[in-house]
Every structure is written in structure tokens, then in C-alpha cells.
Amino acid sequence: MAREDHINPSERSLAYSDAIFAIVATIMILPLSGQAVQGVAGSKDLLAGLLQIWFKLLIYALAFILVSSTWDTHTRLFRHIEKVNETIVLLNLGVLMVVTFLPFAFLMIAEYPREPVAISMFCGCIAVVGIFKAAIVWQVYNRDNLLKDEEAETGNLSSKRRRALLMVMVKPILAVIAALVSIGSIETAWAFLILMMVEPALRQIGEAVYHCVRGKTRYGLKVIRPSRLVSETAETSRLSCFSDGVYSIVATLIILDICVNNVPTAAHVQMHGSVVKALSQDAPVFLSYVGTFVTVCLLWYLHHTMFRHIRAQNSIVLTCNKMALLFAGYLPIVFKLTGQFGKEVGTGNSSLAVQVNSVVVFLASVWLLAMWITASCKKSETLHSSAHTTMANMFMVAHLCIYPVTSLVIFCLCFFVPINSDVINWVQIGMLGVFILLKLIRNLAQKRL
Amino acid sequence: MAREDHINPSERSLAYSDAIFAIVATIMILPLSGQAVQGVAGSKDLLAGLLQIWFKLLIYALAFILVSSTWDTHTRLFRHIEKVNETIVLLNLGVLMVVTFLPFAFLMIAEYPREPVAISMFCGCIAVVGIFKAAIVWQVYNRDNLLKDEEAETGNLSSKRRRALLMVMVKPILAVIAALVSIGSIETAWAFLILMMVEPALRQIGEAVYHCVRGKTRYGLKVIRPSRLVSETAETSRLSCFSDGVYSIVATLIILDICVNNVPTAAHVQMHGSVVKALSQDAPVFLSYVGTFVTVCLLWYLHHTMFRHIRAQNSIVLTCNKMALLFAGYLPIVFKLTGQFGKEVGTGNSSLAVQVNSVVVFLASVWLLAMWITASCKKSETLHSSAHTTMANMFMVAHLCIYPVTSLVIFCLCFFVPINSDVINWVQIGMLGVFILLKLIRNLAQKRL
């Protein structure tokens, strides 16, 4: 049994990591969809209720961005790694454990921004993640059998290792400084925290200056040119995995509430006379479950159809994807609120609920459209050859426009006609029909060509 | 653009399905880990508390088995499918939607076993899933470009289609009959439900009788021989995917509670004097979070190491895997209870909490050992050639024995010495060291060889 036997492809470790990242990124939405929404539903006025929980809604968004950028650096770290040994698998589990703790550390810092302990906790997480990552880099670049061939064979390995270590260690060092400083002055600690957030940009500028000083001005300027954002491409497999995780969690969130709250109790059954009547009281909840599930799954379907054509991602595609996932996370909440307030036609609540709903659906779908447009601007690099025809592009755009256009129309209609929440749910379920119709039209168009 | 363009590999659809199945299977544990455990923690006596929620604990197990066997038939359905077109993707989303609803339908039937509406709801789900699956079978066997080559090229396709449709439709038909009958007589409906559960065995016996009657006695007897359980093997990729999903959910469950309950409120901080002191009140919770995370991730690590050697699964491997995952789901709950009651050394609660903990850890790990033993009994069919050496086998067994042996020792120790919950958590965290030690020993042994 050679040592080689303990080395194996990195796929499964990465799939497990993606699953954990997806859960951690969306975990802050779970408490929101439960008690917080019940709180809003208890208040008479939807707007007042929303203002009550705006801070929590914001925290979810920020935590999502935080965790998904950590995921981002994780994918960048593992991009050149072909195989993993047991040490790397264990180190990676260490990274995951600390990442799982990030939402709590972030909540603490949001609640107590002036407490040294909250800042130290957050910085401690960043620092420990950095140390584990540095250990992974060290392992990988010291064993040439773990790297991908193209990385192992080109250039000087030890200078590559230095670069990779530098990239991984800047943030942790800043975090340690921030934690130490926070005991003396909170303001300075926050300055370091902000420095940590803009660190990638700073590192790029530093690199450019370094090259310019050494006389390689042209190379130096190339580093900071914005076109780098679209020119650096990478594989899309981990992006698909992470997105699958997020969409599947969002799609099943509502059923959790249904299991907890909507099984009629014995008292409930007695009050209404029969189980059927007790269940029918909750009919709007079930309808909004179907509505959310169909919407989330069709968004996933769009994502899936799109990534059949997309071969490689660049930074802008990645950002659009994150935004699309972020807003998809709000869907279960707005659907619940629509179900709760959308019945009160006549009061302002009903229109507002429906409008909030369409805004979120719009935002969750329009980023997918933006992603497709970005990708098709750089056709040759990002798309498979099958998607280069005008017709493929046209049908893809038509698919991607369905949701943004419908939600815009509903949003505008609300100013003129009172719209019931049931209508919204049926419109969402009816979307399935629109997709099937579009498919039939395409098949017909192909036959005639 | 040919029609071929709308056909693509099935991997991503299946990964999304696996994620949804994993979430739905473990979803019933979420409400348990929150309010139910708080209820138990509120009662003075752990045993009384556990007896209070035993029904919910059982429901989780049954729902898990139900959903994971649905996942099982789903993998069986897609085993021969190489590629999917858009229709199949949409039909599969339909299957997933109904599967998501299964836990609720199951809860209803468990709460109201004598209500026709509960039985009809459950049977309705089974029937709709069956219809969607039949539509998928129809699509696939009518288009030869979707099937895997070995399925498309051998034998008569239309007889294969008939067989596949029969396999998919028996359960739905029984479900429809049960639903219709439930209006008249609940008992008969339950008889049909039980018939539905043992249907695979019945179908096999039916097949055997059919072959025997037609004179092919030897072939008929072969169908019902128990060795079929270990001789029919299949790929393990979807099993890994599903397991990754379940382990990642279980590992992150506790952090959700921490985010909801353990951010100290302003009143809390005032009461204890400072944020640090308020946080240190919750130290046992944080410790049990680390303990659970390490345990679940090391179990995943064992699973991962094992499936590096396992090439193909058979029915017994599959069953062992399900049981291991099922008991892993209880881990967050027992760790929380241990944290709550393990402090009360001297009362019966402490020992009981620690013992319950070790029993669950034992059950979650011993099934992995059983899986390895089953797989290594049929080495040539299920293992990669690298795992055929005695040493590889020995170290794998050593790894797999760590958890069962430790938890047995702790269980027995409890009868003689009072053990604190902190000890348990530190033992679990210390397991990491044991794994690293074993790795070093193995490296040393390899060098000497």
C-alpha cells in the first residue's frame, strides 16, 4: 500500500464544503421566516411590521454576502488543487467549522459594534480560517502530486507558494491587528476591519505599484484594469453546486413551518368541527407553499438551463449569481407575508404586500438575466459553441424575461386595481404553463427551420 | 440548433434532487432540536422529558425512513438514464414538490390515523409521485438518446418499458385504492397501506411464481433468493451526494439555535454586567456546538474515507448507510440534552444524559462499521483493488472502531463513576487527536514496510 493510496480526488470534499457554505449562507433566513414573520403578521400595518424587522432583513443580506465571499475565496484556493490527502481533508473540516460560526460572530458584531469582545470574536474567526488555509496551501505546494498539472508544470513552484500564502494571510494578519487594537480603541479597530474588507482592491493596487516601480509599467497597469473582471474565467462546477444548495434550502423552507404550525391540534379540530375544516382554514398557507416552491424551482430551472450554455464564469457572472441567490432567500418570507396580508383588499396592506412580492421576484430573476447578458457579451470565452446562434440566445432571453416582465406588470397594476394574494399565487403557479408554452413554441420553430 | 441541444447530462438535476431529498429527510429534526428540547430541558427529570417527546423522536425516524426509501426508488429510476431533456427536468421538479410535502402528510397520518382525509392526503402524494415517475419512464423509453448505452442496446425496449412502468405504478394504484376505501372503512384502507409498504417483496414473490408457472423454475427461484440483496450492485455517486447533504445539515443544526437564542440581549448584558460575562453563561452551549460539529464531521470523514475504497453498493450497504444517517440526525439533540443535564452530577440525570449520548454516538458509528464489513465480504465486487490488502482493511477497521469502542466504554463507565458533560464534549473534541495519531502510526508503518 503506497502513500498514493491516501490521495483522492477533491470532488467529494468540495461538494460537502459547498453544501455547508450554502446552509450557513442562508441560515439567517430561517429564524426570520419563523417568529419574525409571525411578529409582522401580528401587527395591523404591514409597513410598520416591515420597518420593525428591517434590521434583521439587512443582517441576513450582509451575512449572506460575507459567507458567500468566504466561499468565493475557498473556491479560489481549491482551483489549482486536483487531489487531496487526509491532512487537507481534516484542515478543510477546520475551515468549515469556523465558517459555520461566522453568522453568530457577525450577529454579535452587529448587535454590539462597540464591544471589543464582539470584534475579537469575529476577527478570531477570520484569523483561524486564514491559518487553516495557509496550512492547506503549504501542504499542497510542498507535494507536487496534489496540484493540477497546468499549475504544477508552469513556472517556479516556490514563488507560487509565496504568492498563494501572501494572498491567504493578508486578511488574517489585519484581523489579528484589529482584535488587538480593539482593546484600546474601537474606532481604530473598525478602521482595520474596513481595511480588511477592501483588502483585495488594496492588494491589487499594491501589486500594480510594485510592478511600475520595477519598470514593468505596462504589466503593472494591466493588473488594475477593470477588464480583468471579465477576462479571468474559471470553471462553473462549484458555482452550480453552491447554487443548488441555496435554491434547495429556500424551496423547502416553507414546508418546515407547515410541519411545525399547520398540523391541526385536537382543540383546533374540535373548534372547527372536523379535520377537513380545520385544514381548510390554512388553505392560503398551503397555496403560498406551492407558489414559493414553483417560483424557486423555476428560478433554479432557469439557472440550470443557463449554465448548460455557460462554460466558464468571470467575476461579474459570479456577482450576479450571488445577488440572484440572495434575493431568492427572501422569497419564502414575502410569500408568507403576501398570504397573510394579501386578503385585506381595500386597505393599503394588500397592495403593499403584493408589490413587495413582485419587487423581490423581480430582483431574484433580473440578476439571472443580467448574468446571461454579461456572459453573452464575451461569447467566445464564456459560452459553449451551441449557444452562439441567435435563436438559442433569443429563446434564452425570452425565458429569462418572463419573471422580470410579469412582476413589473403586477407591480404597476397594483397602483390601479386591488390585487388579491390568491391571484399572485395562481399567477406564480401558472408560470409553469408559460414555460411549457414557450417550450412548445421553440419545438415548433425548430421543426419549421 | 438541433433538438439535441436541449438534452444534457442528468448530473445537475440529480444533485439538486439529492439536496432536496436530504433536506426533506432531516426536516423533522429541526422543530425537535428547538422547542421540543427546550421543553425537555424545562422538566426536572430527563427520563420523564424524553418520554414526553418519544412520539416526536419516533416520527422523525419514520419520516426519515419514508423519505429515504423514496430517494431510493428515485435513484433506481434514474439509474439507466444518461441524459435528461427539459420535459424530464420539469417532471422531476414535480416529483420533488410532492416529496417535499410528504413529511406533512406523514405527520397528519400519524396524528389522525383514523381520519379519511389524512389517509387520502398521504395516498394522494404517493399517487402523484407515481404518475410523474411513470411520465418520466414513458419519455425516457420512447427516446433512445436519453438512456445509458448498456440499457438502450440490450434486449427489447418496449418490454423493458412495460416492466419499468409496472414497477413505478403498483404503489400509486394501491394508494388510490386505499384513498377510495378510506371513506368507507379505515381498517381496509390501512390494510392497503401496509400492502403498499411490503409491495416490493410481494412483487418479487409474484415474479417468482410467474416464472415458476411458465416452467422456468430455476430462474423463478433465483428471483427470491436472499443473495440477490448483495449481488445487485450499483454506483455510489448519488449515495455520497445524499449522505453529504444529510451530514452537512446535521453539522450546522446547532449553530442555528445559537444564532437565534445565544446572542445576549441588552437586558441580559445588564444583568450579568458585561457582554463577556453574559456570553460565558452560555459556554456549555458553545462547547456542545464544537462537540457535535467535530463528531458529525469525523463521521462524515469516516464515510468519505470508506467510500474512497468502495466501488459499488448493494442493498445491505445502502440500508446500513440509511441507518447511520438516521442516527446521526439525533446527534444535535442529544448533545444539547447532555449540555443541559450533564452538569447535575450526582442525580440520575447526569449519568442518563451521558449514556443516551453514548448510545446515539454508538448507533451512528456502528452502522458505518457494519457497512464496511458487508462491503469487504464481497471484496471483488464492491471494493477498489487498492483496498484488497490486509493492511488497508486493518486500518479502515481500526478507524471505524474508534467511535463504537469509546462510546461503549463511556456507557459502561457511567455505572461506576459520575461523568460530567464537559468531559463528554472534550472527549469528542479529543477524537480529532486520535484520528491524527492513527494517521501518524499508519505513515510510520508504511515507511517500515
**With an 8 Å Cβ cutoff, is A190 touching chain B?**
no
Name the band, by pLDDT with cuts 50, 70 and 90, for residue A346: low
**Cα–Cα nearest to B168, from B198, B138, B204, B212:** B138
Q: Report the DSSP pairing between strands B8-9 and B83-84.
A: antiparallel
pLDDT in tens, B175-191: 999 999 998 888 898 99
Q: Report the DSSP pairing between strands A312-313 and A234-235.
A: antiparallel
Task: Identify from B7, B10, B20 which residue to disrupt to test chain A contact, counting A C-beta atoms within 10 A and taking the largest count.
Answer: B20
C-alpha cell at B364: 451512528
Report the amino acid identity of residue B15. A
By Cβ distance, the residue of A5, A12, A96 closest to B304 is A12
According to the model, what pLDDT value does residue A280 have?
85
Q: Report the DSSP pairing between strands A83-84 and A234-235.
A: unpaired
Task: Tell me whether residues B5 and A247 touch, CB distance under 8 A.
Answer: no
Environment class of A119 (CB within 10 Å of its CB; exposed 0-12, middle 13-18, buried 19+): buried
Cα–Cα–Cα angle for A384, A388, A394, rounded to 5 degrees: 120
- Closest B-chain CA to A297: B93
d(Cα A32, Cα B259) in Å, to the nearest integer?
11
How far does the CA of residue B224 sit from the closest CA of chain A (Å)? 36
According to the model, what pLDDT value does residue B1 have?
38
What is the overall mean pLDDT for chain A? 85
Q: Which of residues 292-321 of A touch B (CB under 8 A)?
A: 293-294, 297-298, 300-301, 304-305, 307-308
Name the band, by pLDDT with cuts 50, 70 and 90, for residue B283: confident
By Cβ distance, the residue of B19, B104, B275 closest to A258 is B104
Q: Is A188's pLDDT higher than 60?
A: yes
**Alpha helical stretches, state H, A183-282:** 186-197, 199-213, 217-224, 228-231, 237-261, 266-272, 275-281
- Closest A-chain CA to B26: A256
DSSP for A295-318, please give it.
HHHHHHHHHHHHHHHB-EE-HHHH
**With an 8 Å Cβ cutoff, is A283 touching chain B?**
no
By Cβ distance, the residue of B1, B5, B97 closest to A293 is B97
Q: Is A401's pLDDT higher than 90?
A: yes
**With an 8 Å Cβ cutoff, is A195 touching chain B?**
no
d(Cα B435, Cα B440) in Å, to the nearest integer?
9
Task: Tell me whether residues A97 and B305 touch, CB distance under 8 A.
Answer: no
Residue B358 CB neighbour total at 10 angstroms: 25
**Cα–Cα nearest to B351, from B360, B335, B336, B338:** B338
Task: Tell me whether residues B27 and A244 touch, CB distance under 8 A.
Answer: no
**With an 8 Å Cβ cutoff, is A290 touching chain B?**
yes
**Cα–Cα nearest to B337, from B323, B349, B325, B322:** B349
Q: Is B4's pLDDT higher than 60?
A: no
Considering only CB atoms, which chain A residues are within 8 Å of B89? 301, 304
According to the model, what pLDDT value does residue A222 have?
73
Name the band, by pLDDT with cuts 50, 70 and 90, for residue B345: low
Q: From start to end of A288-402, where are the E strands?
A: 312-313
According to the model, what pLDDT value does residue A229 have?
65
Name the band, by pLDDT with cuts 50, 70 and 90, for residue A1: very low
Residue B214 CB neighbour total at 10 angstroms: 10
> In the A/B pair of chains, how many CB contacts fall below 8 A?
176
Residue B394 CB neighbour total at 10 angstroms: 12
Three-state SS for A333? Answer: helix
| Structure-model confidence comparison of residues A218 and B106, the more confident one | B106
Least confident of A32-41, A270-279, B387-396: A32-41
- A21-43: average pLDDT: 80
Name the band, by pLDDT with cuts 50, 70 and 90, for residue B322: very high
Considering only CB atoms, which chain B residues are within 8 Å of A244? 12, 15-16, 19
DSSP for A217-230, please give it.
HHHHHHHH-TTHHH
Q: Is B344's pLDDT higher than 70?
A: no
d(Cα A436, Cα A432) in Å, to the nearest integer?
6
Environment class of B102 (CB within 10 Å of its CB; exposed 0-12, middle 13-18, buried 19+): buried
Residue A9, beta-bridge partner list: A83
Task: Tell me whether residues B259 and A103 touch, CB distance under 8 A.
Answer: yes
According to the model, what pLDDT value does residue A96 have?
93
Least confident of A140-149, A164-173, B165-174: A140-149
pLDDT in tens, A78-107: 888 888 888 888 999 999 999 999 989 998
By Cβ distance, the residue of A15, A251, A392 closest to B1 is A392
Residues contacting residue B86 through CB under 8 Å, at least 6 positions apart = A305, A439, B6
d(Cα A393, Cα A306) in Å, to the nearest integer?
10
Environment class of A252 (CB within 10 Å of its CB; exposed 0-12, middle 13-18, buried 19+): buried
d(Cα B18, Cα B25) in Å, to the nearest integer?
10
Query: What is the Cα gyration radius of chain A?
Result: 25
- A297-304: average pLDDT: 92
B347 alpha carbon, distance to own chain's centre: 35
Name the band, by pLDDT with cuts 50, 70 and 90, for residue A77: confident
Residue A83, beta-bridge partner list: A9
Considering only CB atoms, which chain B residues are within 8 Å of A118? 275
